[in-house]
């Protein structure tokens, strides 16, 4: 315990120096998480709890709307570490998409895959993506990675996103709007299962739409950032047997990474990566997708650059490749 405490205290002290340019200031670890009901939020709070057990300085979670918000918060120094999808992180590093300039962002670890969910009510007449054209849909807040993926999927399906009645709702508000029929469908990305969808299934039966050749088109345009994935829908969510739900559902997946500023000192990045793996039991208790955190795959953050301090951590722990 003493060793873990010393490591975390050193980490927080280093973070203070990195954030304050070497000036004296309060120790802190600010984690850019996500919104209520998503996996980022659960994991961010679990990571904060793991750090909070060992330190007396400030440790908190910054609520955000998702990947794009998190990347900006980390780049601007509002947060020290954040969760983001690899496609949004790649855009940030190159100054593309919603980013007006390149952000100094690198990764500490590959975490787990997000799965795109396209959700409609079980009693909806919508059977495929094109049936949503002209209808009210939620594609997530502008600060979310979901919005980026939804726009790309719709484009590769041969539609202009402007042909949809698009609403930029939070996940919590999206599920409420679907339940009250204010929208016909919602797009959301996240690990399996998504807590907000589990909760919604208790009062509003729903279906997931399957994708077809959009996945191949996305890969042709954007490379291996996007992968073909399947959601075992009826085993993942409480979908009634009476609902005609294809199972499994063909969809796409995108990797999540833990990001920091490029200028973060190497020792700090090393210790922060160390803290991430030490916190794995708490992360798994918060959400089962954290089981995928593994020394063997965590360094595979392509096309996002790995922080040199994290790279050193993985080299030092290569003999532990099979450990949790």
Q: What is the pLDDT of residues 84-121, one digit of tens each?
A: 999 999 999 999 989 999 999 999 999 999 999 999 99
Q: What is the pTM (predicted TM-score) of this model?
A: 0.83
Lowest mean pLDDT among 52-66, 119-133, 172-186: 52-66
CB 29 within 8 A of CB 53: no
Task: Provide the CATH number for the domain formed by 2-113+256-320 in this structure.
Answer: 3.40.190.10
What stretch(es) of the chain map to CATH 3.40.190.10?
2-113+256-320, 114-254
Q: What is the mean pLDDT of residues 241-255?
A: 90
Q: What is the mean pLDDT of residues 280-292?
A: 94
How many angstroms separate the CA atoms of 255 and 83, rounded? 11
How many angstroms separate the CA atoms of 310 and 191, rounded? 24
How many angstroms separate the CA atoms of 119 and 185, rounded? 5
| Fold (topology level) of 114-254 | D-Maltodextrin-Binding Protein; domain 2 (3.40.190)
Higher pLDDT among residues 321 and 49, named by residue: 49
Is pLDDT at 10 greater than 50 in this prediction? Answer: no
Neighbours of 123 (CB within 10 A): 11
The helix (H) or strand (E) run that includes residue 86 is helix 86-94
CB 200 within 8 A of CB 122: no
Higher pLDDT among residues 17 and 163, named by residue: 163
Query: Buried b vs exposed e over 49-71: b needs ≥16 C-beta within 10 Å?
Result: bbbbebbebebbbbebbbbbbbb
According to DSSP, the β-strands at 185-190 and 81-85 are unpaired
CB 90 within 8 A of CB 237: no
Is pLDDT at 303 greater than 60 in this prediction? Answer: yes
Lowest mean pLDDT among 6-20, 171-185, 252-266: 6-20
220 CB-near residues (< 8 Å, 6+ apart): none
Is pLDDT at 9 greater than 50 in this prediction? Answer: no
pLDDT score recorded for residue 118: 97
Helices (H) and strands (E) in the chain, counts: 13, 10
How many angstroms separate the CA atoms of 91 and 263, rounded? 19
pLDDT score recorded for residue 216: 87
Is pLDDT at 247 greater than 90 in this prediction? Answer: no
* Band of residue 224 on the pLDDT scale cut at 50, 70, 90: confident
How many angstroms separate the CA atoms of 86 and 11, rounded? 25
Is pLDDT at 1 greater than 60 in this prediction? Answer: no
154 CB-near residues (< 8 Å, 6+ apart): 129, 160, 161, 164
Q: Which residue carries 């990347």 as its tokens?
A: 71
């Amino acid at each position: 315990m003493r060793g873990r405490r010393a490591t975390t205290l050193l980490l927080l002290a280093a973070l203070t120096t990195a954030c304050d340019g070497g000036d004296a200031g309060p120790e802190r670890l600010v984690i850019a998480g996500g919104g209520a009901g998503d996996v980022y939020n659960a994991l961010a709070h679990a990571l904060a709890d793991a750090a909070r057990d060992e330190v007396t300085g400030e440790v908190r979670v910054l609520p955000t709307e998702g990947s794009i918000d998190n990347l900006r918060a980390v780049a601007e120094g509002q947060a020290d570490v954040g969760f983001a999808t690899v496609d949004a992180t790649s855009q940030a590093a190159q100054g593309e998409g919603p980013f007006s300039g390149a952000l100094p962002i690198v990764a500490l670890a590959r975490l787990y895959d997000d799965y795109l969910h396209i959700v409609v009510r079980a009693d909806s007449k919508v059977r495929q993506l094109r049936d949503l054209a002209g209808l009210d849909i939620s594609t997530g807040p502008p600060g979310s990675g979901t919005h980026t993926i939804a726009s790309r999927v719709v484009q590769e399906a041969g539609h202009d996103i402007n042909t949809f009645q698009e609403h930029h709702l939070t996940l919590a508000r999206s599920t409420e709007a679907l339940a009250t029929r204010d929208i016909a469908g919602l797009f959301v990305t996240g690990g399996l299962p998504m807590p907000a969808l589990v909760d919604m299934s208790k009062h509003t039966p729903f279906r997931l739409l399957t994708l077809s050749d959009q996945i191949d088109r996305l890969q042709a345009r954007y490379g291996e950032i996007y992968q073909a994935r399947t959601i075992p829908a009826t085993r993942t969510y409480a979908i009634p047997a009476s609902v005609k739900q294809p199972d499994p559902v063909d969809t796409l997946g995108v990797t999540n990474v833990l990001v920091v500023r490029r200028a973060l000192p190497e020792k700090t990045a090393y210790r922060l990566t160390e803290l991430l793996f030490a916190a794995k039991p708490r992360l798994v208790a918060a959400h089962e997708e954290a089981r995928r955190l593994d020394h063997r795959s965590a360094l595979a953050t392509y096309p996002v650059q790995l922080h040199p301090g994290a790279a050193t951590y993985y080299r030092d722990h290569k003999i532990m490749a099979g450990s949790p």
